[in-house]
Structure 1
Amino acid sequence: MNIQPPYLKKGDKIAIVCPANKLRKSIAPAIALLESWGLEVITGKSITGDHFNFAGDDALRTADLQTFVDDSSIKAILAARGGYGGIRIIDQIDFSAFNRNPKWIAGFSDITTFLSHTLAALHTQSIHGQMPASFETGSANSIETLRKALFGEELNYTYKSTITNRPGHTEGVLIGGNLSILVAMQGSVSEMDYTDKILFLEDVGEQEYAIDRMLRMLKRSGKLAHLRGLIIGSFNGIKPQEIPFGQTPEELILEIVSEYNYPVCFNFPVGHIEDNQALIVGSTAILHVQTHEVILSYQ
């Protein structure tokens, strides 16, 4: 059973850090919103860090995250944004204090590095959801699901898929995140266990052939064979090719998992989109997939 960090309550202190790319704009509106939830918000040095494309050099970002991992008064750590950089510092973080006092880590995109490590190495749940840098463009509903996830309120999702799903009903621990990052975690201590899990995937800015290659790598390594369910979120920002690849991400996914019989759903509201719904990584979920309707709830 994975460890569930204590849910937040009004008056709790949370930290915002930038463990990857640097901020390009103020997150003051996001901080104000978090404070309106009754939280005390502390920002790390990496929020103003600037080292080429990163929010400070590796040493600064490592020390910044380490400070809040070690601080027992901090009840959650929110990544301000993603980009690239988590894999450069994950092995320098000492999670000893985290093991004694688990706390929520929340974010998506490159932050999948930390969500994956938290589950794989520390057996602790985390939150895949909107980040302060995306609050202004994120839907009100997506930000509300983040609040509910942090405060332990009921989260259930029902939506209509415009793409034909592969129906089925299943239950299992929910894992996943950004496809590129999950592939980068393979063979390391941060690699999630895929067996008997419900896997969700999303990505942005990749070409169809790269998506195909990454998925086939997961298949060849046995990661897709023993899933209980597959949730496909947004694969957007696909770069056009001079010669078309010939398959959409959804089409190639169905082909790759055609020999398996677990349910597969598409159009799930997760990823680099405005309506990026919060998902609790490491929690037990119930997935009901019909041809064009999907229901996800937590046990």
Structure 2
Amino acid sequence: MQRHPSLSRRALIGGLAAGAVAAAATASPAAAKGPRRPKKLVPGDLVVVPAPGGPSTAAAVARGVAVLEGWGLRVELTEHALDTFGYLSAPDADRLADLNYALAHPEAKALMTVRGGYGTTRIIDDADVEALEDHPKLVIGYSDITALHLAVAEQTRVPTLHSPMMAWSSNNTPATAESLRRAVMTADPVVLERDPAEPTAPVEVPGTATGKLLGGNLSLLAAEPDRSNWPDMDGAILLIEEVEEARYRVDNMLTRVIRAGHFDGLAGIAVGQFVPHPLDQHKPGEWTMNEVITDRLGTLGVPVLGGLKIGHGPDPRVVPLGTEAVLDTAAGTLTVEAAVKD
């Protein structure tokens, strides 16, 4: 494992026809062509690790480093990856410099964040996301890193991975690690099956949908400014998951995004893990979390599949974002094209 030695290395960063023309002139790079998949990782490839959100511990990061190094990958921590600054990993300027260093790194094949927490939204507007077009690499993370997923989806054609991060959580299992290994080191499609034991498994609106998979943590989706990095959701399949939010808060966030029109034109919705808030105790006569989700999503007229092991719950799985997916409620499956190519 390397540590990023100095800031000086950041020098590496160095009618219809008329309507179609206008649309092409204003379309995001991500909408212009199909996905630009990086090559799958092989032993010896480098993974660079910034911490754009909250802090972690050296011990937790070491667990994640051991997983990747066990596959023959090399790991480089950015300068402030193990710092702590209040509830942030480091001051905004340092986190941004580390993130931009990682995004533009000419040798790294993947960028795996330390953890989520909070802080990515404070620096995302100045992140050099378009550097990925010059140096394509996988962006790996979830939770607070949803802000980065959205920016990459809106500003580039590079797929990302919704995945556990370098601060290896006790929720992760050997199956979680194998899910990550296959997602970064093979070009096989990712197939997720509805798990009847998952609390959101009863959430379903029958049907089949095909489209690009986009989304992530619901809180971060709801917090994204309407004219910022919201990617084009027309024809897309939306992924949502959440952790320790009260039921009325989930209702409020879904309602805000629906009212803003961001769900207009969706092809389908994949529902991951919704870990309950410990103080949000259900009382007789109240809606359950599943009833809240079904009430808000069930009127959109699109298939909805719950019970997917994606998110903050135990034994999570890795799934690409920004590639084509098929959601089939009868089969109980979400099948997603790989984020990498051979």
TM-score under structure 1 length normalisation = 0.93
Matched, 1:14 2:54: no
Provide Cα deviations, 1:125-183, integer angstroms capped at 9, x if missing partner.
10001112234430211221111111234221223434152221121100110001011
The CA distance in 2 between the partners of 1:248 and 1:4, in whole Å, is: 40
Aligned to 1:296: 334
> Which moved further from structure 2: 239-248 or 9-18?
239-248
CA drift of 1:119 comes to 0.3
Aligned to 1:5: 38
CA drift of 1:242 comes to 7.7
CA drift of 1:277 comes to 1.0
Aligned to 2:303: 263
State the SS of the aligned residue for 2:100: helix
**Counterpart pick for 2:84 among 50, 57, 60:** 50
CA drift of 1:100 comes to 1.0
Please tell me whether the aligned partners of residues 104 and 127 of structure 1 are also in contact (alpha carbons under 8 angstroms). yes
List runs of 5+ in structure 2 lacking aligned partners.
1-33, 338-342
Task: Determine which structure has more spread, i.e. the larger CA radius of gyration.
Answer: 2
Please tell me whether the aligned partners of residues 166 and 264 of structure 1 are also in contact (alpha carbons under 8 angstroms). yes
* 1:164–1:79 Cα change, 3 Å: closer
Aligned to 1:282: 322
The CA distance in 2 between the partners of 1:91 and 1:168, in whole Å, is: 37
Aligned to 2:107: 73
Q: Match of 1:271, as an amino acid?
A: G
Aligned to 2:31: none
Aligned to 1:214: 253
Q: Match of 1:231, as an amino acid?
A: A
The CA distance in 2 between the partners of 1:133 and 1:64, in whole Å, is: 17
Please tell me whether the aligned partners of residues 112 and 178 of structure 1 are also in contact (alpha carbons under 8 angstroms). yes
Task: Output the aligned Cα RMSD.
Answer: 1.9
Number of aligned positions between the proteins = 297
Please tell me whether the aligned partners of residues 212 and 249 of structure 1 are also in contact (alpha carbons under 8 angstroms). no
The CA distance in 1 between the partners of 2:128 and 2:180, in whole Å, is: 26
The CA distance in 1 between the partners of 2:220 and 2:120, in whole Å, is: 10
Aligned to 1:122: 156
Matched, 1:205 2:244: yes
State the SS of the aligned residue for 1:46: coil
TM-score under structure 2 length normalisation = 0.82
Provide Cα deviations, 1:82-139, integer angstroms capped at 9, x if missing partner.
1000011112222343221111100010010101110012232100011122344302
Matched, 1:249 2:283: no
Q: Match of 2:132, as an amino acid?
A: F
> Which moved further from structure 2: 93-102 or 192-201?
93-102
